[in-house]
Structure 1
Amino acid sequence: MTDLLFSRASRRSWLKQGTALSLAAAGSLRVWAQPQQTTLVLGDQAGGLRSLFEASRTLEGAPFAYRWANFQGAAPLFEAQRSAAVDTAMAGDLPVLAAAVGKTPLKIVATRVGKADSLGIVVQPDSPLRSVADLRGKTVIVSSARGSISQYQLYGALEEAGVRREEVTVKFVLPTDAAAAFASKQIDAWAIFDPYYTIAVQQGGRILRDGRGINTALGFITASEHSLADPARRTAIVQFLDRLGRAGDWALANPEAYAQAYSQLTRLPIESSRIITARASVAGRPVSEADIVALQAVADRSARDGILPMRVDVRAITDTSVWKRPA
């Protein structure tokens, strides 16, 4: 593969086949406000969190105003949090650590639990690559940026297969761009997460290795330190987290209704939506000691492997005092 440039037509084709996930900013910002209410800007990825709340309706009647800010991956989402454009963000374990390394003023305030098979490495259906060991000497595209859960997945799979990282060329491309390139067969191997992962597989991609046994399947909600320092915003964030917990309980009890709502919001086929929502990070709970230990293990390994340029002290970026909902 010499270039990742692809035609606008090929990108439009991929979008028509099942995703409108990179929602335009105006379309992803819905304001519910009353005079004198504190307004939270809730950062989201690919409509995942918003669809959960819209399906469960647990934000209805909230004592704070809010608007959604949607991003296609964690990297641009944390850029927004770094610039104080969002109050909260949701992401997987490694992107949170990468954001901390990038001096994003954040605190981890809640844990979300999903399934590790919601990401993996996919190849073309007719690819001669049959195992991770076959990636030796090949180029692998990772989405979305350095410090993503997909990079951690790839490096873990390479180590498991006895392949040195130096034997593989790794390039970083944002998910929607990489998806179009993969669909037009400009990418041989792609390390990616849901919903893009499921879409790629349903469009014929073959799974080389999924995240089970490598990734923690933990996601986290972070709040900006600036927002937490404001008493009114801190109270609103706690109220938001209370509703996050209820939304997760509802989704686990009503999987089909959740999938239908997700399909309507993202405009993905219901078959894809059922798979994505069944293994999404849905359950929300306060950050536990086990979560801190698990995330510290990811931080240590990522520093060892050069995914992160330095070790992150997870306790220093976690505030367990914000949300005390019973686990």
Structure 2
Amino acid sequence: MAGSVSTSFRLRRQLLGALAAAPAAVLAGAAHGAGAPDLSGVTLVLGDQAGGLRALAEASRVLEGAPYTYRWANFQGAAPLFEAQRANAVDIAPAGDLPVLAAATGDPSLRIVATRVGSPTQLGLLVPQRSGLHSVAQLKGRTVFVSSARGSIAEYQLDGALAEAGIARADIQIRYILPVDAFAAFMSGSIEAWATFDPYYGIAISRGARVLRDGTGINSGLGFITASGAAHANPLKRAAIADVLQRLQRAGDWALAHPQAYAEVYGTLTRTPTDTALAITQRASLKQHFVTAADIATLQKVADVAVRDGILPRALDVAALADTRIGTV
């Protein structure tokens, strides 16, 4: 899953052909007006996790005809993705709520520029199919592996499940591991409990893993897209990012209207069986909009809980991190 998700233009055409609801020109939106900035000299590096955002963009073809150059940089989890963003190696980064907050504690220059709405069932706690563990309470005294690093949505999920079961963090051993390594260890039987997220979560379930507790009632189901401080401060890059976000918003609407077509393309691009791809994409964060006051309030609650529970090292003012006006660029 950490490898390249590139595929040929011809294959995309074959898969989408008659299924696309509108020609690429419609999906890509109207051309920029005469007063729009010249973005022809701009190059954006679009960060991604496990190929999900790229699959969405390529399935819907919304980036065709973009007035700037772009390239993809794929990472297996939020921790390495945000390391790259902090180093200005990527311009935008998609991630769940807590990873964004964790990244902001080390890089207050990043800006939250879009919200993505999904289901909290896209992550949870897994145990092997034949495991003797049948409740979160039984994790006491056990070791739980968390993808991918401290401050991930998987850790927030674990903390919420432990609190619900009346177990303190001190009652278990927590180990952090990157998702690809965790997946291999889990499937080999080396991990007895694993807190993780899609697509690793969905693929493990399709291969027999049992859900001990999913994210319903614990996680917000919201994801976010952040811009690096350097990219956000550059007027031309900021304008290009605003355009990318509008295109990705149309991509999400297309995917929600054509779930089977999107699942087929997602499965091909990420090398995931179509039935598993459909389960993953149906709960994915596809619906996208620019950041609202309600999103900020929801994320602030997550931040406050994470600080209270010691997951985040300090308090954050989410409103100061969010750009609610980039869509007006």
TM-score (norm 2): 0.88
Provide the C-alpha distance between the structure 2 equivalents of 1:44 and 1:181, rounded to a whole number of angstroms.
24
Counterparts of 1:37 and 1:118 in 2: how far apart (Å)?
38
The 3-state SS of whatever aligns with 2:327 is coil
What displacement does 1:135 show? 0.3
Task: Please say if 1:168 is aligned against 2:172.
Answer: yes
Contact kept? 2:114, 2:290, Cα under 8 Å: yes
Q: Which amino acid aligns with 2:2?
A: S
Measured in 2, the distance between the counterparts of 1:60 and 1:185 equals 44
Aligned to 2:318: 314
> Deviation string for 1:159-178 (max 9, x for gaps)?
00111111011100000000
CA distance in 2, matches of 1:41, 1:213: 35
* Aligned length in residues: 300
TM alignment of 1:41-52, pairs within 5 A: 41-52=45-56
Distance 1:124 1:298 in 2: 29
1:247-262 matched pairs, under 5 angstroms: 247-262=251-266
Secondary structure at the counterpart of residue 259 of structure 1: helix
| Aligned-residue offset at 1:105 | 2.5
| Residue 181 (structure 2) aligns with | 177
Equivalent in the alignment of 1:22: 2
Residue aligned with 2:326, SS: coil
Q: Which amino acid aligns with 1:139?
A: T
Provide, for residues 225-259 of structure 1, a one-character-per-residue CA deviation record: whole Å limited to 9, x for no partner.
21121111111011101101111110110111110
Give, in angstroms, the shift of residue 149 of structure 1. 0.1
Deviations 1:164-223 (A, max 9, x none): 111011100000000000010000000000000011111111100000000000000101
Provide the C-alpha distance between the structure 2 equivalents of 1:280 and 1:104, rounded to a whole number of angstroms.
27
- Partner of residue 88 from structure 2, selected from 84, 87, 90: 84
Q: Report what 2:123 is aligned to.
A: 119
**Which residue in the other structure is 1:228 paired with?**
232
Assess if the C-alpha contact under 8 Å between 2:42 and 2:237 holds in 1: yes
> How far apart are the structure 1 equivalents of 2:127 and 2:40?
52
In structure 2, the residue matched to 1:279 is 283
Alignment of 1:110 with 2:114, yes or no, is yes
CA contact (8 A) 1:82 1:104 kept: no
SS at match of 1:209: strand
Counterpart of 1:97?
Answer: 101
Runs in 1 of length 4+ with deviation above 4 angstroms? none
3-state SS in 2 of match to 1:215: coil
Q: Give, as a single letter, the amino acid of the residue that structure 1 aligns with 2:142.
A: K
State the partner residue of 1:304: 308
Q: Which runs of structure 2 are paired with 1:208-247 in the superposition (5 Å)?
A: 208-247=212-251
Is the contact between residue 91 and residue 220 of structure 1 (CA under 8 Å) also seen in structure 2?
Answer: yes
In the TM superposition, what are the counterparts of 1:123-134 in structure 2 within 5 Å?
123-134=127-138
CA distance in 1, matches of 2:226, 2:40: 25
- Aligned-pair Cα RMSD in Å: 1.7
In the alignment, the residues of structure 2 paired with residue 149 and residue 89 of structure 1 have an alpha-carbon distance, to the nearest angstrom, of 15
- Within 5 Å, which residues of 2 pair with 1:176-195? 176-195=180-199
Identity over aligned pairs, percent: 59
Q: Provide the rounded CA distance (Å) in 2 between the counterparts of 1:193 and 1:70.
A: 16
How far does residue 24 in structure 1 lie from its aligned partner after superposition?
4.9
CA contact (8 A) 2:40 2:69 kept: no
Letter in 1 for 2:49: Q
Amino acid corresponding to residue 64 of structure 1 in structure 2: Y
2:144 to 119, 140, 145: 140
What SS is found at the alignment partner of 1:296?
A: helix
Q: Deviation per CA, 1:70-109, whole angstroms, max 9, x where unpaired?
A: 0000000000000000010000000000000112531000
Spell out, residue by residue over 1:108-158, the C-alpha distance to the aligned partner (whole angstroms, 9 max, x if none).
000000000000000011111110000011000000100000000000000
Distance of 2:328 and 2:187 partners within structure 1:
45
Whichever residue aligns with residue 83 of structure 2, its letter is E
How far is the alpha carbon of 1:37 from its aligned partner?
3.0
Shift of 1:324: 4.2
Paired AA for residue 41 in structure 2: Q
CA distance in 2, matches of 1:24, 1:277: 19
2:160 counterpart residue number: 156
User: Aligned residue for 1:72?
Assistant: 76
Q: TM-score, normalised by structure 1?
A: 0.89
Q: For residues 298-318 of structure 1, give each alpha carbon's deviation from its aligned partner in whole angstroms, at most 9, with x where no partner exists.
A: 000000001111111101111
Q: Take 1:148 and 1:243, find their aligned partners in 2: how far apart are those partners?
A: 27
Q: 1:58 aligns with which of 58, 62, 65?
A: 62
Instruction: Give the CA deviation at 1:36.
Output: 4.2
Alignment partners' CA distance in 2, 1:202 and 1:24: 22
